[in-house]
Amino acid sequence: MSRKVRDYPANSWQPPFCIWPERQVPPSTVKRIITVTNLIKPHGSDSLNPLFVEDSNARAQLAKDAKALTSVTISSAAAGNAVMLAGGYFTPLNGYMNKANAMSVGASMQTTEGLFWPTPVLNLVADATSIQAGDKIALKDPNVEGQPVLAVQNVESVETFSDAEIETLAQQVFGTTDRDHPGVAEFVAQGNTAIAGPIEVLNYSYFEKDFPDTFRTAVQIREEIAALGWKRIVAFQTRNPMHRAHEELCHMAMDRLNADGLVIHMLLGKLKPGDIPASVRDSAIRKMIELYFPPNSALVNGYGFDMLYAGPREALLHALFRQNMGATHFIIGRDHAGVGDYYEPFEAQEIFDSLPDGALEIELFKADHTAYSKKLNKVVMMREAPDHTKEDFILLSGTAVREMLSEGKAPPVEFSRPEVAQILMDHYRT
């Protein structure tokens, strides 16, 4: 499939992303499609393990029963874990980890049973004195007004981490214990007590309501991919708007991998202060796809999770749940999932080289820093232009771009598509 032509006349455009009217897919349908099309296997399983209660009657009864249960308002991080478990992204897990599994994952990126997993999946609280093993409890959503019940948990254990153990986990997962690191700050603020056990999830928090055209579960994305007949699928992670370099990086990956399609998969949960809101990113990315990608070559979807900013460990997690959603290849670029200067530029790529065989089936597309070459009049990976000097590239810092946008000035067309820049300028002005 040729993707050499980048500019499409407005009157010839067809929707390249898919909006599916039926959001809930019968499990039997999903299994049939996945079996027939031979999609990549989910992580550690032959089939997805979504923990959302699909049957509406059972869900209504569970919601009714939850009113009589002891309730706990969980952290935003734990709520994000529940949403990811609900959608099958965290297959094959069936709930929150206990202390032994969390410490094992921190130390070796394996559960106590030997399953590869890069980051602990925990329900940490500050106080669980009223809860004990064997209880069934209602987990309340901190991110929705009125704090409705998000999930019901069967408690298998209630265990407390020492402060030293929390510090150890932070160092292992984030590579630092510095409280100025936004991921560390969020992690240590949740509390030291882990409530472990399987969960049944009643809803997808605010994500379905706030992002009806974008939020998709791993089950739904697999169905979309299967319906399109794609076999080789490239996934691109983003928490930011996509500029020319990101756009061309996706084209490069699709061309070089001979991919059937691309899934631009954006994070819809909480970010650090100053990051672009998900709704603005969504509009900007859709405009870019509309104008600069071949029709029906890309899906624009999102997932309900808060950013960890855990660099290399988070890159592994990103790859794992992209395998679960059906992607065969995953783009990892410079400073993936990083923040500040906490990680080396390509540390998130290098960590994959140390994985044991079979840890993940999804393959990487390792990307260098991309920039517009004034010599070649196109975006290139800088390592592939050895005859260039720094002056041969158009390089802008994120700070410089934000300043331009906030002043109503569009970045150079070599850096950002004008239509995308206009959406961002509108955001900054308001």
Q: Nearest Cα to 267, choosing from 300, 218, 312, 306?
A: 306
Distance from C-alpha of 179 to C-alpha of 186, rounded to nearest angstrom: 9
Q: Which residues are catalytic?
A: 239-240
User: Strand 233-238 to strand 261-267: parallel, antiparallel, or no bridges (unpaired)?
Assistant: parallel
Q: 140 with 71: CB under 8 angstroms?
A: yes
Closest CA to 318 of 118, 49, 80, 183: 118
- Give the closest residue to 338 by CA, choosing from 308, 365, 367, 364: 308
**Type of residue numbered 219:** V
Contacts of residue 28, Cβ cutoff 8 Å, sequence gap at least 6: none
Alpha-carbon distance of 119 to 125, in angstroms, equals 18
115 within 8 A of 42, measured Cβ to Cβ = no
Q: What are phi and psi of 285, to 5 degrees?
A: -70, -40
Other CB atoms within a 10 A radius of the CB of residue 340 amount to 13
